[in-house]
Amino acid sequence: MGGPSTQAELARQTGLSTATVSNIVKIMLDSGLASTEPITSSGRRALNVRLNSNGAVAVGIDFGRRHLRVVLASLSYHVIAEESVALPLGHQAEEGIQAAVDLLAKLLDESGVARTAVVGAGVGIPGPIDRRSGTVAQGAILPEWVGINILQHLEERLKIPVFVDNDANLGAWSEVTWGQHTGVSNLLFLKIGSGIGAGLILNGAPYYGNVGITGEIGHATIHEQGLVCRCGNRGCLETIASTTTMIELLSRGEDRPLTPADIVRKALARDSATLRVLDDAGLAVGRALGNVANLINPEVIVVGGPLAGLGDLFLDPIRRGLVRHAVPVIGETTKLSMSSLGDRAEALGAAALVFQHAGIRKT
């Protein structure tokens, strides 16, 4: 098919019956591979059929505390366009949503993808999502977003089907679809950032529990008398191993507060205080993981977030903690690795979520 044609023209060009052409076009429209536009042909109203050059396209949107990333992905898991922009710390939900609407329009425009080719958007939020209502629940890293019905807001603004999920769940899903662990049925993705959360793939599917709030491993108690956590308890894993805590511990005596990238840089330069903080954090992470691994026996545990660039420097203490606290056979057989998807994991997982809901497997 060259440019857009009407169904009558397609039947003439191909020698197929108009009924057959109509059936094929319907299938292509349903799967997002083609779109139609009304025209007048020989004085009669008709529909022009246009092939969508990229076929069905899924949008992946990842909202962070300070960033927004949008990707456009094709049916064959090819990234068509991708861009990340900064969001102000403490931004309101409406501000973030507007930025996503604008960035999506820009990417569609620049890549020449028709809006009609978009089958849906997956959206990642750094916080628990109550699946009964589609709202962001208490405990989110984005407190300004709590109680907002993100699903409804985004569907109104984007005018496409929207699927919302927690960012760690999307990280897990991206590892088994885009990442190095395609086909793994039991995987735990641990996101270590300003907060700590886990996403679970069990028996090949994301695990959502009863109301959708799972993987809150950041609030596993490590030290009964430890620091008070943002959740109100004491000594949670986050009070030892989140990047927020590491930054607090390591910024003393510095001219400005460190960033996660500074932690990676200083650790790679073998700064002894940084290595000590990472060792303490890694052991605590491994201990929490050991308890979870005893319960669900994952094949792989993937660590993601801004410290993924540390590689074995951070994986080694995590492994020691895991081996110490898991039963021996689980400690020995559970593979532990850093995410290879970096800060793209959540947005890619969000796009893959759309294909999952549309029943489209990776080709």
CB-nearer residue toward Zn ion: 149 or 233: 233
The CB-of-288 to Zn ion minimum distance in angstroms stands at 12
List, in order, residues 6 or more apart from 34 with CB less than 8 Å away.
Answer: 25, 28, 49, 50, 51, 52
The CB-of-120 to Zn ion minimum distance in angstroms stands at 34
Q: Which helix (H) or strand (E) holds 110?
A: helix 93-111
The neighbouring-strand residues paired with 61 are 70, 123
CB-nearer residue toward Zn ion: 236 or 336: 236
Count CB neighbours of 67 within 10 A: 14
The CB-of-191 to Zn ion minimum distance in angstroms stands at 15
Helix-strand-coil split of the chain, %, nearest 5: 40, 25, 35
CB-nearer residue toward Zn ion: 7 or 243: 243
Cα–Cα–Cα angle for 352, 87, 193, rounded to 5 degrees: 65
CB-nearer residue toward Zn ion: 5 or 166: 166
The CB-of-67 to Zn ion minimum distance in angstroms stands at 24
The CB-of-210 to Zn ion minimum distance in angstroms stands at 20
CB-nearer residue toward Zn ion: 75 or 220: 220
The CB-of-237 to Zn ion minimum distance in angstroms stands at 8
| One-character DSSP codes across 31-56 | TTSEEEEEEEETTEEEEEEEE-TT-S
> Residue 112 is encoded by which pair of tokens?
């020449």
CB-nearer residue toward Zn ion: 46 or 231: 231
Contact 65, 126 (CB under 8 A): yes
Integer Cα distance of 342 and 30 in angstroms: 34
Task: Name the residues that contact Zn ion, by CB under 5 A.
Answer: 219, 229, 231, 233, 236
